[in-house]
Structure formats: C-alpha cells, structure tokens
Amino acid sequence: MVRIDFNRLRFLVIDDNAHMRRTVRTLLHGFGTREVYEAEDGAGGLEAFNHYSPDIVITDWAMPIFDGLELAQMIRQPTSNTNPYVAIIMLTGHSEKKRVVASRDAGITEFLAKPISAKGLYQRILNVVANPRSFIRTKSYFGPDRRRNVNPNYAGSERRKGGKADVIRQQPLLEKAKTPVG
C-alpha cells in the first residue's frame, strides 16, 4: 500500500460556499496536509493558483465570475501559467454524464460528486499522486490523457481520431509526497 506524506503537498480549494471550503480543508488537515489555500470564485482561484503554485487544485463547478470548467481551461493553457500540468479535481454537485464528459474534455484530472466523503476525496488524491496520467497535446486538446483503459485495439466511439498527438509523461507527485523511511 502506498503511504502519502500529505504534509509535503500544497492544495488550493476553490468553492463559493465557505462551508464546503471549510469541510474540504478539515478533511485535508485530517490527512496531514498543512498548506491549504482557498478562493471563493474562479478569478480568485486563478490568482491564488499563480501565487501559491499548488500541487493539487480542488474546484467547484458553479461559481461566480468564471466557473470551475473555465478555470481548468485557463490553467491548461501551456503558455499562460507556471504549471499547466497541475492535478485538478472537480468537486461538484452536478454529476450528470454530460458534465462529467465536459469536465474530462476541459482537462479535469479527477471528478468527485458532492456530497463528499473522506474516502472518496482520499482516493482521488491517491490517484493523482500515485498514478498520474500522461498529458496529451493535439490541435484541439491539452490535458490529462482522457483514456483510462490503455487498449491499443479499442474501436469504440471515444477512439481518438485525427492527427498526431504528443504524449507528455508525468512524474508522479508520489516522489514529493513519499513518506520517508527510517
């Protein structure tokens, strides 16, 4: 089993609901995190992202100024910020299939529906820390590889079509967050 030293990770929690931010912060502190930054809307979230350089962003979908989807699209612009590869977890009450697909297509790394549980949040964090997905760059998309099943013979409707895609392998955050031995 992988043990994560949460004290080595920086989180940014963006949600317009102060109670939800407090709940997520409390869970993260319970996991051992000490650096949790917060913002109450997408604009403040982007500013905090650029200022604090978090390892993981946890964002709500529906927020004022611009929403979590727009925020993710801004973060995923390879030339406009310091870390377009950051892990982004969408934490939302809007869990319809079309929203999950839209999140995936905007470059969201993981999706978690509200109400949240400690186990669900921990599992999403573990996924992004221990099993980071490669990033894909095509003419129309930059973000985590949307495929979870790496079957080269897949022929379904979600099969990547079109031109060449650059694959950018990601270093696991696990090295940064590994519990020291000894």
Residue 1 forms part of a structural domain: no
Q: Is the pLDDT of residue 153 over 80?
A: no
What single-letter amino acid sits at 157? Answer: S
Residue ranges with strand state E in 17-165 = 35-39, 56-59, 87-92, 110-113, 135-137, 142-144
CA distance 27 to 32: 9
Sequence-distant (6+) residues with CB within 8 A of 126 are: 2, 4
- Position 97 in a domain: yes
- Inside any domain, residue 60: yes
pLDDT digits (tens, 9 = 90+) for 77-115: 877 777 899 999 999 998 899 999 999 989 999 999 999
Which pTM was predicted?
0.85
Q: Greater confidence, 96 or 161? A: 96
Structural domains counted in the chain: 1
- 163 occurs within a structural domain: yes
* Alpha carbon distance 62, 166 (integer Å): 32
Residue 182 lies in a domain: no
DSSP class of residue 178?
B
The angle at the Cα of 57, spanning 138 to 117, to the nearest 5 degrees, equals 120
The rounded distance, in Å, linking the Cα atoms of 59 and 21 is: 10
In a domain, residue 73? The reply is: yes
Is residue 79 situated within a structural domain?
Answer: yes
- Paired with 35 in beta bridges are 10
pLDDT given at position 19: 97
Confidence of residue 123 (pLDDT cuts 50, 70, 90): very high
CATH code of the domain in which 11 resides: 3.40.50.2300
90 inside domain: yes
* Two tokens, residue 65: 């100024």
Query: Of 144, 151, 4, 9, which is closest to residue 72 (Cα–Cα)?
Result: 144
* Run of H or E including 47: helix 42-52
Provide the domain limits for residue 103.
Answer: 6-177
